[in-house]
Copies of this chain bind each other. A is one copy, B any other.
Amino acid sequence: MLLGRVARMYYELGLTHQEIADALGLSRIRVTRLLAEARESGMVEIIVHVDESLFATEEQALMSRYGLRQVWIAPTVDDPAKAARALAAVGAEALASVIDKDSTVAVGLSTAVASVVAAFPERPLGASFIPITGSGSGLANGANPHELALALAQRTKGSAFHLPAPLVAASREAAASAHADPGVRDVLTRAAGASTLIAGIGGTHDTRGILLGSLGEEERTRLLAAGAVGDIGGRFFDAAGGAVTGALDERVVGLRLDELRTIPNRLAIAGGESKLDALRAALASGLVNMLVTDSATAAALLA
């Protein structure tokens, strides 16, 4: 109610925060916050009436080059925080355009997906969201797949599933027994039967990835030696898109790459130079068939 008054006074009547505050007996800062809330909540909708995309030609080129269903490109910006936000905004747009109320969406774990979730507008699409991996134990908040699924479900007034298992179990036996749990089994089966996958792609060039950052040095060198160039949901793959198996892989709880491939719409979100090798492999091998990236990465993928 107050929200609506403030929003209309600002956006329709062009008053300043201060003037609205004076008129309504609030503090300016309060008005500022109410306006932010009004935008967040979707009460204020800003539409730019332009049909064609910002990078229509590059998107077209990437689609035909790698046989992709759809590509979205965000402009590359210097400030990394801003770049992530821009990528996330485009990613949110992409996700929103791909899903509808009948969609079941498998949700991967990555910082890119996390920021897409944060940028996702509240809109009653009513889809279901299912994590494709277990949760990290001591991870920073917002970086658990079920948190992401839950947040998406809340924003779309849809439903979320929870995968009660760790992302990386302590041993291969522990992982096997987690997979054997009926609840886990059920959720993973649902995830494999999803209509859409949204996932980030981890690179192997730096140690900032959620998973890679948590591994020991030894584990990392073993992965690199096995030819790993990147991962989706903790499942590493090589330059040809083949699964990199081994000790780590056997401890991961989540869908395998061959299971992911059964999902019809597979949307990857990734940008930046460190992801290039991983992206090339994932795209060329058809691991994903839709892409959200930034313009510099797009150019590199086309070169």
Seen from chain A, the residues whose Cβ lies within 8 Å of a Cβ on chain B are 4-5, 7-9, 11-15, 19, 22-23, 38, 42-50, 52, 54, 74-79, 82, 85-86, 89-90, 93
Contacts and interface: CB of A to CB of B under 8 A. Distances in A.
Given A11-B46, A13-B75, A14-B82, 8 more contacts: A4-B52, A8-B50, A12-B46, A13-B74, A14-B89, A15-B82, A44-B47, A45-B49
Contact of A11 (B8, B9, B48, B93): B48
A13 B48 CA distance: 11
A48 B4 contact: yes
A23 B47 CA distance: 22
Considering the complex of A and B, which 9 residue pairs feature the smallest CB-CB distances, nearest first?
A: A4-B50, A13-B86, A45-B47, A7-B48, A13-B89, A11-B46, A8-B48, A46-B46, A43-B49
Nearest to A3: B50
B47 A47 contact: yes
- A5, A13, A50: which has the most chain B beta carbons within 10 Å? A13
A15 B86 contact: yes
A15 B77 contact: yes
A19 B85 CA distance: 13
Contact of A48 (B43, B75, B86): B43
A22 B78 CA distance: 9
Given A19-B82, A82-B15, A86-B14, A49 B42 contact: yes
Given A13-B74, A15-B82, A86-B14, A46 B44 contact: yes
30 contacts: A4-B48, A4-B50, A8-B48, A8-B54, A9-B75, A11-B46, A11-B48, A12-B48, A12-B93, A13-B74, A13-B75, A13-B90, A14-B82, A14-B85, A14-B86, A15-B75, A15-B82, A15-B86, A19-B78, A23-B75, A23-B76, A43-B48, A43-B50, A44-B46, A44-B49, A45-B46, A45-B49, A46-B46, A46-B47, A47-B47
Contacts of A49: 42-45
Contacts of A54: 5, 8-9
Contacts of A4: 48, 50, 52
Given A7-B48, A8-B48, A48-B44, A23 B77 contact: yes
Contacts of A12: 46, 48, 89-90, 93
A68 to B, nearest CB: 22
Nearest to A23: B75
Contacts of A5: 54
Nearest to A77: B19
Contacts of A79: 19
Contacts of A48: 4, 7-8, 11-12, 38, 43-45
